[in-house]
Amino acid sequence: MRAKRSLGQNFLKNIGIARKMAALAGVGPGDTVVEVGPGKGMLTRVLLDQASRVIAVEKDDLLFEDLSRSIGHSETFRLEHRDILEADLSLLLPDGAKVVANLPYNIGTQFIIRLVDHAWRIAVVVVMLQREVAGRICARAGDSDYSALSVIVSAGFDASPGFMVGPNNFFPRPKVESQVVRLVPKISPIPAGEMELFKAVVSCAFHQRRKVLGNSLIHLPRIDRELLEGLALRASIDIRRRPQEVSPAQYHLFSKGYGAYLRDHSQGK
């Protein structure tokens, strides 16, 4: 079966990599594991050997049929035929589940951002991504790879880089290197009610990362220079700096203040 470039498919062919991913996630008896993009099932079979239950989500019609025949459905394995980017994660992810996956390159960023909203329900996330994406997820303020993705992921998870995976471990052989990352839910993630505005502020700040914050955040709705300077001061942000120089905590403080202003403004205060 040929991989589909349109779905970002590169099938893992080294079972040792699959075992290392399961070990990094601490998969064991009693665990429920959610896998996205099981492909031909190499990682799936390793997870089934170690976990009590595996839920795999596959979009590709032919791969879904192939896995249905080769592994089948049972009390320990459920195969979902759907697009993970359109799935209701609140229904799909059991509380306390572990997410372990070799993510298709073309959905990695979008899927991780979606997971942030559900971080409090997840035990751990161990996923393989394109190396550049993994670098952005794990970057810290001041790093060259620090981006909106770094900040948004930090709202729900503590991210740490795992091991590198070379192109020869896949079929077909990709043109880029991969890296495994480990995401551990924060004890106190940003509350769900604040997440949408937080993401909007961060995205606005990084929209043109070469601009200083005073010239980017001014484009937020209902904000003027005086309000911007006041919110930045309370968040200890120097608006003459660029977005990659500001910590996630500072962005959160800014978005909380901005949210309070919007609520008061909408109530006519």
Distance CA(138)–CA(154), nearest Å, equals 9
When pLDDT is cut at 50, 70 and 90, the band that residue 102 belongs to is very high
152 and 35 together in one domain: yes
Task: Tell me how far apart the alpha carbons of residues 232 and 250 are, in angstroms, rounded to a whole number.
Answer: 9
21 and 141 co-located in one domain = yes
Buried/exposed 57-93: b ≥16 CB within 10 Å, e otherwise: bbbbeebbebbeeebeeeeebebeeeebeebebeebb
17 SS3 class:
helix
Burial class of 173 by CB neighbour count within 10 A (0 to 12, 13 to 18, 19+): exposed
pLDDT cut 70: percent of the chain above it: 96
| DSSP H/E element including 127 | strand 122-130
- Does 206 share its domain with 173? no
Rounded to an integer, the average pLDDT of 236-255 is: 98
The verdict on 146 and 19 lying in the same domain is yes
Residues 164 and 209 reside in one and the same domain: no
Q: Residue 64 maps to which CATH number?
A: 3.40.50.150
pLDDT at 1 over 70: no
Per-residue pLDDT tens over the stretch 121-130: 999 999 999 9
**Is residue 192 helix, strand or coil?**
helix
Query: Which residue among 153, 185, 217 closes a domain?
Result: 185
| Same domain membership, residue 212 and residue 163 | no
Q: Verify that 177 and 205 share a domain, yes or no.
A: no
Instruction: Give the pTM.
Output: 0.93
Asked if 20 and 115 sit in the same domain, the reply is: yes
pLDDT tier, 265 (very low <50, low <70, confident <90, very high otherwise):
confident
Q: Give yes or no: residues 64 and 15 share one domain.
A: yes
Last residue of a domain, one of 126, 161, 185: 185
The answer to whether 148 touches 167, Cβ cutoff 8 Å, is: no
Q: Which of 72, 30, 70, 81 is nearest to 53 (CA)?
A: 30
Residues 152 and 123 in one domain: yes
Within a 13 Å sphere around the CA of 3, how many CA atoms are in the beta-carbon half?
A: 19
State which of 167, 185, 203 marks the end of a domain: 185
Residues 223 and 110 in one domain: no
Same domain as 26, residue 150: yes
Number of domains in the chain: 2
pLDDT for 268 = 54
The CATH number covering residue 252 comes to: 1.10.8.100
Domain that holds residue 198: 192-265
